[in-house]
Each structure stands twice: as C-alpha cells, then as structure tokens.
Amino acid sequence: MVYTDTRDKNVKTDFRTAVLNGMNAETGGLYIPVEFPRMDQSFLTKIPEPPFREVAFEMAKPYVEGEIPDSNLDEIIQDAYPFAAKVVPIDRVSYVLELFHGPTCAFKDFGARFMARVMSYFNRNEDDNLHILVATSGDTGSAVGSAFHNVPGIDVTILYPDGKISPLQEKQLSTFDGNVRALRVSGTFDDCQKLVKTAFTDTDLRKKFRLSSANSINISRLLPQSFYYMYSSLVVKNRIPQDSKIDDPSIVVIVPSGNFGNLTSGLIAKEMGAPIAGFVAATNSNHTVPDWIATGKYKARSSVATLSNAMDVGAPSNYERISAMYSLEQVRSMIASYWADDKGTLDAIRGCHDRTGYVIDPHGSIAWKAWYDIRNGEMQKLVNKELSGDINRTGLTNSAPSWAKAVVDKTAVGIILETAHPAKFGSTVIDAIGREPSMPDRLERVLSLPDRSIPMKKDYNSFKEWLVSNL
C-alpha cells in the first residue's frame, strides 16, 4: 500500500515510514492510505460472519502488503487480540458494541496493541531500542503503556500531570515495571505535551536516541479500529432477520467522539464494504464537529471539562483526515451529529438503565441517548424541518443524513459503541443510577499494585537530564 498525507497528495511513502514517523514533519499533515480496498463479496456475505481475528487479518492485509508477510501479520493479530469486541442486543433495534474487553477496559486497546506490535516488527533488525514518549491526560497513557508492556525492542515513557487524573487512571499507568515508565509531572497536561514536543525537536537528543510517538494520529492506531466496525455490522446484519424481522434494514453506528479517530475508522470500514448506512457523531459539550456539520464552518476552540472526559477535545485532530477524505456534502450525507451536556449524560445513563437494564458508561451513554432520541421523534422533526438551527441547543444537529428516511420509516437499527467499561467511571454511574457497576478483575488487580511513578519537574532541562541518564 502506498501512503500519502492530508496536506500534500504528492507525498508517497510506505507503511513503515508512516507508522514510525506518526505524522509528516515536513508538511504537518497526517498519513492516509491512497485507497481503501473493498473486501471481496464472498467475505462480506459469508454466513456465519468470520470471527473477529479473521476479520482483522483480512482487513489489515492490504495495508501492510509487501512490508509484513502473512505469517507475521497473523502473529501480530493473534498476540494483539486475545479478546474481541462483543455485540450485545439491548432492545429490538439496538445493539451495544462492547469495546472494553481489553486489558485497560477501553476501546483504545484495539488500536494501541496493534500499533505496538507493528512498531516492534519494524524495529526487529535495529540494534537500538525505539523510545516512545507519550503525554497523556488520562486514558491514552494506560492503553499505550499496557499495549507496549514487555513488547521487545521498545521502551515507553509516559508523562502525566500530577494530581490531575483520576486515582484509577493513575494506577492504570503508573504501576508498570520493566520497559514502561511513568513520569508524574508537576504541571498541566499542556506542560507534559510541551516536554514531549521539545524532546522531538531536540536534535542533540535525537542523535542519542531513536524517538517515536504513539498518539492517536498514528495510522497504525486508526486502521485496526476499523476491524470491529466491519465485524459488528456483519454480526448485526446476520441477526436482524431473527431479532427484528426488518426487510432491507439500514445499519447506523453511533460513535461517542472526541478526537474523531474512532469515527474515522468507521468511515474506513464503510469504504471497505461494511454494511453500514451511516454514522452518528455523538459528542459532549465539546461540539466542534457537530457545529461544523450543521454550519459548514469548522471552528476549533479550547476544550471544556465534562463527565465524559475522554471526549473533552475542542480541536479534534482527525477532522483533518475526514475533510481530506470527503467533501462537506459527503460528510453530511453519511454522518448525523448529536451532542449532550453533563445533565444529558447523567439522564442518559439513567435512561439506558431504566429502559434496557444495561449499565452504560458516561461516553457510551451519549451514544445511547443520541440513538434513543433520534428514533423517538428527533429525526422526524429534522425531516419535517421543525428542528431549530441553533447550534447551542443540545440534541440532534440540523443536517439530515441520507439514511434519515430509514429511521423515520423504522427500518434502521443502531449499533451503539460502548468505548469504556462503566466501572472506570464508577462515581458518575452512582450519581446516575444509585449503584456502582461491578469491577472487572483486571481493574481490581491494578488497584492493589504499587505505584512506580517518578516525580518530574516541568522544565525541559530536568526532563532531558532524566532521559539521558535513564534511557
């Protein structure tokens, strides 16, 4: 596969370069494959649908062709995914896609674990280890730390703001041993990010070490997230005849979004032939993308803190990919958008629990509420042109997708992405439904591990000194 970038279509590079560079430093653009090959019809219509790891292997193949042999790709997939995504029906026309069965209980495990093994593969013949530096405001650090833990040839340093992440999040990223270390920086997330950015532009440091980043703009985190869109849409397509007996159903995927990596992966799956009619971009009060879809004008802003904090992004990086891949009209025809504030989030957790018995986390809950409201009147109002165009009103955004009629005609079914285990946000869930979600063993275990984080000042010299004497 040839990779190009979002800012200069003349750029041509390979998968290895795209993965190890993360972004194109010369243009400032993000890497994308020049094409998204459609899967064979025999694959898309197989009954029963292929198991998750087979879907993953077949979808990954064209993107690594000529660079990673099939046998190594298969090893990467088997090692990355000892767990799978689970489709759980919650009512006749709604399914939850549980993406929290990985080690850190959030969907980022799908992308981070694939990326870690691909980087290790590309580094296999080098004498020196690759050093990953990652600044985190919470969830990314644990997914990346866990994904790279004990992966050969790679060391990871995680920087997080002291006292500014939740105690559980801190446990999840500060208790690794061996090749993953966490620095507890006396500063903000922005200070952490600045330290990492300064290190990457420090030529003296780069002469000493091979540095790389692991943030969500990396194409090797995005591609593997498309696997579960394909898998779940094939599962649901095959279940609909028994579950809801709808003829010619339209499958809509509702995606709780922040940086819009997850939704971009959904668009990739659709390009590759997944039976998905369209998407709902569901956000919290950081509704930059819904506003763009409604008004046609993209305006990044600073983020505001919410209960669904992994979606607190005011300037989503993957806007750049989506707008390089599609025109505004194409985006509007595929994607409806919806946003909820914190009150709406609590109402959503409660509403989902009361109506279906399912305990959902604050991120997935916004997707649940979006789907519930859309099929209970909001889409009808939108089609009848009765929705207000005020972008500061919560709810469905005033722009009708191509699949709006299917919702109104009740021939649409929804797949709600549940991006984190509710136990990660226990206190919010208690506030909403009065009881705590049960804690999975792997979260319980991490709580009892000793904290190994290292205190770090926020000035660059202290950080560099530490790197030089410890890497």
Tell me which residues touch ligand PLP (CB under 6 A). Answer: 106, 108, 139, 216, 256-262, 310-311, 363, 419-420
CA distance 415 to 93: 9
3-state SS, residue 9: coil
3-state SS, residue 160: strand
Q: How far is CA 471 from the centre of its chain?
A: 29
User: Encoding tokens for residue 106?
Assistant: 């959030």
Q: How far is CA 414 from the centre of its chain?
A: 19
Closest C-alpha to 263, from 312, 321, 303: 321
75's CB contacts (< 8 A; 6+ apart) are: none
In terms of phi and psi (left: phi > 0; alpha: psi -120 to 50; beta: otherwise), the region of 358 is beta
Which amino acid is located at 195 in the chain? L
Which lies closer to ligand PLP via its Cβ, residue 139 or residue 191?
A: 139
Which lies closer to ligand PLP via its Cβ, residue 310 or residue 396?
A: 310
In the complex, least distance from residue 80 CB atom to ligand PLP, rounded to whole angstroms: 18
Which amino acid is located at 183 in the chain? L
Which lies closer to ligand PLP via its Cβ, residue 174 or residue 286?
A: 286
Which lies closer to ligand PLP via its Cβ, residue 273 or residue 422?
A: 422
In the complex, least distance from residue 8 CB atom to ligand PLP, rounded to whole angstroms: 24
In the complex, least distance from residue 222 CB atom to ligand PLP, rounded to whole angstroms: 9
In the complex, least distance from residue 256 CB atom to ligand PLP, rounded to whole angstroms: 5
In terms of phi and psi (left: phi > 0; alpha: psi -120 to 50; beta: otherwise), the region of 296 is left
Find the helix or strand (DSSP H, E) in which 141 lies: helix 139-148
In the complex, least distance from residue 299 CB atom to ligand PLP, rounded to whole angstroms: 18
Helices within 392-459 (DSSP H only): 404-408, 426-433, 441-447
In the complex, least distance from residue 307 CB atom to ligand PLP, rounded to whole angstroms: 12
Which lies closer to ligand PLP via its Cβ, residue 112 or residue 151?
A: 112
Residue 309 DSSP code: G
Q: Is cis: bond before 48, omega within 30 of 0? A: yes
Neighbours of 436 (CB within 10 A): 13
In the complex, least distance from residue 437 CB atom to ligand PLP, rounded to whole angstroms: 14
Which lies closer to ligand PLP via its Cβ, residue 52 or residue 260?
A: 260
Which lies closer to ligand PLP via its Cβ, residue 273 or residue 362?
A: 362
In the complex, least distance from residue 64 CB atom to ligand PLP, rounded to whole angstroms: 22
Which lies closer to ligand PLP via its Cβ, residue 158 or residue 420?
A: 420
